[in-house]
Amino acid sequence: MKKHKGVLFDLDGTLLDTANDLGKALNYVLKSKGLKTVDREIYRPVASDGSKGLLELGFGDRLCEFDFEQLRVAFLNYYQENIAIHTCLYPGIEDLLSSLDDLNIPWGIVTNKPEYLAQILVPQFSQFKQCKTLIGGDTLPERKPHPAPVLFAAEKIKCAPTDCIYVGDAPRDIESGNRANMHTVIAQWGYILNKDECKNWQADVITLNPLDILATIK
């Protein structure tokens, strides 16, 4: 098996379980408009889709009755003020990152979360202190599933794309990594509603355990 020399990760649903804080932001906006809130089991699978996906979920057919940009700003402002109250690392992530650090394997984060929010969230976790690069959804003109963000991140960690692993929990993550000629890994522990569906994403590997990623690293 080919050994890889660098790892890039998606953030929400891959490294961090951010669903509860994102869901709180959605329900705050819904309450402010006098609408019914959304239960955790409903918003959780949509958490990787960010403010747009969550607002579309919560408001449904009534979204057209409101100014979407005002809703988005209210969502993001609330989320920024409450960004890491319920957020936590997924089991196995701390050990994985520690192992990468011990092996001197560079790693970074490529997320579609706005960069300013990612820059606030990531430092909340000491386990991320060795992160070599943090690319947000608006760092470049393109965002995932375009390959540009992961290619830019690979350059930042000084790793050839073909020597790099990209780990994510959404089709856009795998598409982005595949288009960049990276080794793609589905984080099946993340926000995936239909586990069978991810078999069609054309990833190189599907894993339930973050530590299994170490098997492909030199």
Kindly list the catalytic residues: 10
CA–CA separation, 119 and 186 (whole Å): 24
Q: Six-digit token pair at 193?
A: 């509603």
CA–CA separation, 186 and 61 (whole Å): 32
* Buried b or exposed e, range 63-84, using 16+ CB within 10 angstroms: eeeeeeeebbebbbebbeeebe
CA–CA separation, 194 and 216 (whole Å): 26
CB–CB of 111/11 below 8 Å? Answer: yes
Half-sphere exposure of 131 (CA within 13 A, CB side): 24
CB–CB of 180/140 below 8 Å? Answer: no
76 Cβ contact partners less than 8 Å away, ≥ 6 residues apart:
25, 51, 114, 117
